[in-house]
Structure 1
Amino acid sequence: MKLIKCDLMLGALLCTASGGLLMLLLASWTAPTSLRLPSPRIFSKTFEWQAQTPHLLNLTDPYPYPFLINHPDKCEGSRDAPFLLMLVMTRPQDVVVRQAIRQTWGNETLVPGVVIRRLFVLGLPQPLFAQELQTLLEEEDREYGDLLQAGFLDTYHNLTLKVLMGLEWMGQSCPTAHYVLKVDTDVFLNPSFLVQQVLQPNRPPQPNFITGHIYRNPVPLRTQGHKWYVPLELYSHDKYPDYCGGPGYVMSSSLALRILTVAQRFKAMYVEDVFVGLCLKQLGVKPTPAPPNTFLMSRRKYNHCAFHQLVLVHHFQSQELLQIWPKFLTSSSACPSV
C-alpha cells in the first residue's frame, strides 16, 4: 500500500502542470553533469542550476560526492560473506520499476545457499519537484532499506559516476563480496544461471574476472547529437578496447577495486561501459567470454526453456517482468536440460 501511495503521489506531482513536465524533460537533456554538495542536508540551500551541460572533459572523479542515503551494514549479518553484490542502476522517479525488480530477479533469496545482496544506486532528483521526490525516496528506503543515493544530479551523462560510486561503496562497506554485478533496470535477469553456471560458487573467485556481452574492436560514434557521441578531444583513437555491454556485466570484487583505482587517473567518459573497458586496458585485463549467447543486448520474446539458459536479456520493462516471472519460476522442470 505504501508503494501505491508513493506512486500516486509521484503521479500527482508530475501531473500538476504540463509545462512542468516539459521543463523536466528538457532538463534531462541539458542537465549539468555533476553537482557538488557540501553536506547530506541537500535541500538546505538552493540548487545551483545551469541551462548548459559542462564540457565532457570537465567530468570529475566520484570522490567529492557524499552518500546521502546509505546502508554501510548491508553486507553484515550473515554467516558467510556475500557471494554476489547486485548494484542496480536506477533513477529517483522509478519507484514502480524498483518494486518490480524486488519481486522478480532482484529477490536476494532466489539462489538457495548463496548470499546475495542488492542495492539500487541513484543520484539526486531533477530540481523540479526535487524536495517532494526526495521525501518519497526516503520513505521508500525506510520500508525496504535498499537505496544507495550519491550527491550528484541523476542524469544519463552521470551514469559513469553512478557506477564508480557503487564500486566505491563496495570497497568501503562490502569488500568481502566475491563478485559484483552492475545491472540496469530494463533487463530480464536470471540470477540462478549467473551464479551456478557462470560464477560457480564452488570454485575460488577469479581475481581478474569480468564477463558479459563482449564488444570487440568497437568504433567510436562521431555523429554529433547521437546518444553515444564521443568527440575526438575526449577519445582520439579509431577503436575502443574490448568491453562488456552496459545493460549488465559481472566482475570479481578485486578487479572492481582495481578499476576504481585506475579510474582516477584520467577523465571520466559518460559512455560508462566503454569507460570501464578503458580502465581494463590500463590494467592489462581482457574480458572473459561468457557461455555463448547468454548476455543478450537485444530484445528476445519470452520462452521459458530458452530463458532458463540465459543470464540477461535487454529491453524488458517492469510490467513484462511481473507477467512472465511466475511462469519462469515454475517452468524449469518442464525443460529437458534445466
Structure 2
Amino acid sequence: LQPPYPHPYRFLLNHPDKCRGRTPFLVLLVVTSPADLAARDAVRRTWGNESAVPGLDVLRLFLLGVHPVFGQELRPLLLEEDELHRDLLQQDFLDTYNNLTLKTLMGLEWVSRFCANASYVMKADHDVFLNLEFLAGLLRPPRSNFLTGYVYRHTGPLRNRAYKWFVPREVYPNDTYPPYCGGPGYVLSGDLALRVFAAAQTLPLINMEDAFVGICLHALGVAVTDPPPGAFTMYRLEYERCRFRRLVMVHHYGPRELLRVWPHFSQGRDECP
C-alpha cells in the first residue's frame, strides 16, 4: 500500500466511453487477477453476461492490477483479450492481496469519472455465484445512500502476522471496525459509490478492502442495510436451483462449477414456488 492513497495511478486499460448514452441499472465490477483468464471467461458466460436478465441494463467490467512477476509477459495477452471483449480495467499498481483496496477504489474511480449516473454498483469476486435477477428485485425502486451485502458487526483487525488478513496497529489502531459488508459481493447505490470514493481520498488506507469501505461509510455517517436473511452466503452451498433462486450470492464457485450449473439454473424460471 505504498505510496499511500490518493495517488495518481494510471489506467493501462480503460473504457471511458462504455457508459456514454446509457444509464445502467447496475455496474458490475468483478475482481480478478491478470492471469485469471478462465475465471473471466466463465463469468462472461454465466452470471456476468450483460444480457442474462431480460430488461436489466447491466454493465460488466473486470478489475485488475499488474502481475507482480509476469506483468510484461501478460500485457499482450490482456490487450488481445480486451480487444475482443472490451471489458478490462487495469491500473499500474501491483496486483497483490494487500492491494485489493486499490483495486476496488479503481472501480469506484471509474464509476465516479465515467458512469456517475448508474443506479447501483456491485463489487463481486470472480469465485462467486450471482443471481442478478433476484438482486434486481431487492433493489427496486432505486434508493440513495444504500449499501447491502453480508453484514459484519463488532469485528476487529487480526494482529497475528500468521494470517493473510493481518493488519498491524500502525495501519489501523482501533480494536474494532465499523459495520461493513463482506468483500465477496456487496452493492452500493450509485450516489453512495461516488461518496465512498471521495471519502477514500481523505482517510488512511488499510489493506482490508471490505473493512475500509465500512470505514468510509462510518466517516460519511451512512449505515449498512441488512439484506434478507441468507441472501448473501459467505460459505459454499451445494447447488440446488430453487434454493439458489432465493439467494443473491454464494461464495466459492470456481469456473468449472459455474459453467456446469449455470445452464440448469438459467432454465425453468417458473418451476420454483
Tell me the TM-score normalized by structure 2: 0.97
Residues 179 and 253 in structure 1, CA contact (< 8 A), matched pair in contact too: yes
Alignment of 1:253-264 (within 5 A): 253-264=190-201
Once the two structures are superposed, residues 85-117 of structure 1 have per-residue CA deviations (whole angstroms, 9 ceiling, x without a partner) of: 001111000011100000000000122222110
Equivalents in 1 of 2:128, 2:185: separation in Å? Answer: 8
Q: Choose which of 199, 212, 234 in structure 1 pairs with 2:149.
A: 212
**SS state of the match for residue 266, structure 2?**
helix
Residues 87 and 183 in structure 1, CA contact (< 8 A), matched pair in contact too: yes
1:243 aligns with 2:180: yes
Larger radius of gyration: 1
Once the two structures are superposed, residues 214-271 of structure 1 have per-residue CA deviations (whole angstroms, 9 ceiling, x without a partner) of: 0011122111121111122222222111000000000011111111111111221110
**SS state of the match for residue 265, structure 1?**
coil
Equivalents in 1 of 2:80, 2:6: separation in Å? Answer: 26
1:319 aligns with 2:256: yes
Alignment of 1:4-19 (within 5 A): none
1:76 aligns with 2:14: no
Alignment of 1:157-196 (within 5 A): 157-196=98-137
Equivalents in 2 of 1:89, 1:119: separation in Å? Answer: 9
Alignment of 1:280-295 (within 5 A): 280-295=217-232
Structure 1: 4+ residue segments shifted above 4 A: none
**SS state of the match for residue 322, structure 1?**
helix
Moved more, 119-128 or 176-185: 119-128
Equivalents in 1 of 2:160, 2:80: separation in Å? Answer: 42
Residues 212 and 249 in structure 1, CA contact (< 8 A), matched pair in contact too: yes
**SS state of the match for residue 121, structure 1?**
strand
| Runs of 5+ unmatched residues, structure 2 | none
- Percent of paired sites with the same residue: 53
Equivalents in 1 of 2:111, 2:102: separation in Å? Answer: 14
**SS state of the match for residue 186, structure 2?**
strand
Q: CA deviation at 1:62?
A: 4.6
**SS state of the match for residue 230, structure 2?**
coil
Once the two structures are superposed, residues 175-201 of structure 1 have per-residue CA deviations (whole angstroms, 9 ceiling, x without a partner) of: 1101000000010000101112x111x
1:301 aligns with 2:234: no
1:331 aligns with 2:268: yes
Equivalents in 2 of 1:192, 1:230: separation in Å? Answer: 36
Q: CA deviation at 1:60?
A: 1.6
Corresponding residue of 1:121: 63
Q: Which amino acid aligns with 1:118?
A: R
Corresponding residue of 1:265: 202
Once the two structures are superposed, residues 120-157 of structure 1 have per-residue CA deviations (whole angstroms, 9 ceiling, x without a partner) of: 010112233x3221100000000000001111111111
Q: CA deviation at 1:63?
A: 3.9
Moved more, 58-67 or 187-196: 58-67
Higher relative contact order (CA 8 A, sep 6+): 2
Q: CA deviation at 1:77?
A: 4.4
Q: How many aligned residue pairs are there?
A: 273
1:133 aligns with 2:74: yes
| Residue 95 to residue 244, structure 1, CA distance change in 2 (3 Å) | same
**SS state of the match for residue 330, structure 1?**
coil
Corresponding residue of 2:36: 94
1:65 aligns with 2:5: no
Q: Choose which of 31, 53, 77 in structure 2 pairs with 1:111.
A: 53
| Runs of 5+ unmatched residues, structure 1 | 1-32, 34-57
Residues 121 and 147 in structure 1, CA contact (< 8 A), matched pair in contact too: yes
